[in-house]
Amino acid sequence: MNAEYMIRTEDLTKVFGNFTAVDKMNIEIMPGQIFGFLGANGAGKTTAIRMLCGLLKPSSGKAMVAGYDVRVDSEAIKRKIGYMSQRFSLYDDLSIGENIRFYSGIYQVPYKVAMERAKDSLKMVGLDLSMKVMTGSLPLGFKQRLALVCALLHDPPLLILDEPTSGVDPMARRAFWNVINSLAEQGKTIIVSTHFMDEAEYCHRLIIMRSGSVLVDDSPRALKEKYGSRNMQELFLLLAGAVNE
């Protein structure tokens, strides 16, 4: 596989018993791309992402992530990834600073280095708050920004964001995407799983999955032109939204 890709898969497949969760996925993601994973619940997005994170071994096929093989180099891959889940993953009963200290330990980043990075990231995401502020007192949009700051503590080249703006208001979603675009401009590769079709418009490239298969893989503009859709919502309903999964 060519090392110029941040991620490249060849017929990546995951089977659970008689159920095929991901069926021969072939994708290529370049450094600095914002790459969207779209699909209804049960489409296979989460299973595919777990394989790319090194958390789940494929049943067959290949995948290289940041130059490492997911089958044999899962620990090395984990060190190259910053992961942010749709559920807020930090501790409400810890302060902002205590959460940062906790995650610096998990990522094995010296605390002084982690704090310097965190200060820069907090400024980037617009969180001008004291480190003593309790995390539980923050609005959800602020919590999500803090979760992103912690995911960046080890300066990973690849970010995987699983529905990062779920539950936050439209203004907070827009602000979060401004940060995502800024990170991509800095050279970070970003995979985003989202159910918001307006957010899909911001991706450089995306896939739409259904029943474990990749239906389409292209830029939002090219896909809308190909299928004669006015927007991503219309395209999604055409290809995947009408299927109850």
Q: Which of 138, 155, 172 is the last residue of a domain?
A: 155
Full pLDDT tens readout for the chain, 245 residues:
445 899 999 999 999 999 999 999 999 999 999 999 999 888 999 999 999 999 999 999 999 999 999 999 999 999 999 998 866 678 999 999 999 999 999 899 999 999 999 999 999 888 888 899 999 999 888 888 899 999 999 999 999 998 888 777 888 888 889 999 999 999 999 999 988 888 899 999 999 999 999 999 999 999 999 999 999 999 999 987 554 43
Provide CB contacts within 8 A for 78, sequence distance 6+. Answer: 53, 54
Q: Which long-range contacts (CB under 8 A, 24 or more apart) does 106-112 make?
A: 107/153, 107/154, 108/154, 109/153, 109/154
Looking at the fold, whether 45 and 110 belong to one and the same domain comes out as: no
For 149, the domain range is 90-155
CATH number of the domain residue 228 falls in: 3.40.50.300
Looking at the fold, whether 162 and 149 belong to one and the same domain comes out as: no
pTM: 0.90
Structure-block tokens of residue 19: 């159920």
Looking at the fold, whether 38 and 114 belong to one and the same domain comes out as: no
Looking at the fold, whether 14 and 116 belong to one and the same domain comes out as: no
Looking at the fold, whether 7 and 60 belong to one and the same domain comes out as: yes
Instruction: Tell me how many domains the chain contains.
Output: 2
Q: CA-to-CA distance for 143 and 136, rounded, in angstroms?
A: 8
CA distances in angstroms from 228 to 67, 140, 225, 235, listed in the order given:
37, 37, 5, 8
Looking at the fold, whether 97 and 123 belong to one and the same domain comes out as: yes
CA distances in angstroms from 225 to 202, 218, 229, listed in the order given:
16, 11, 7
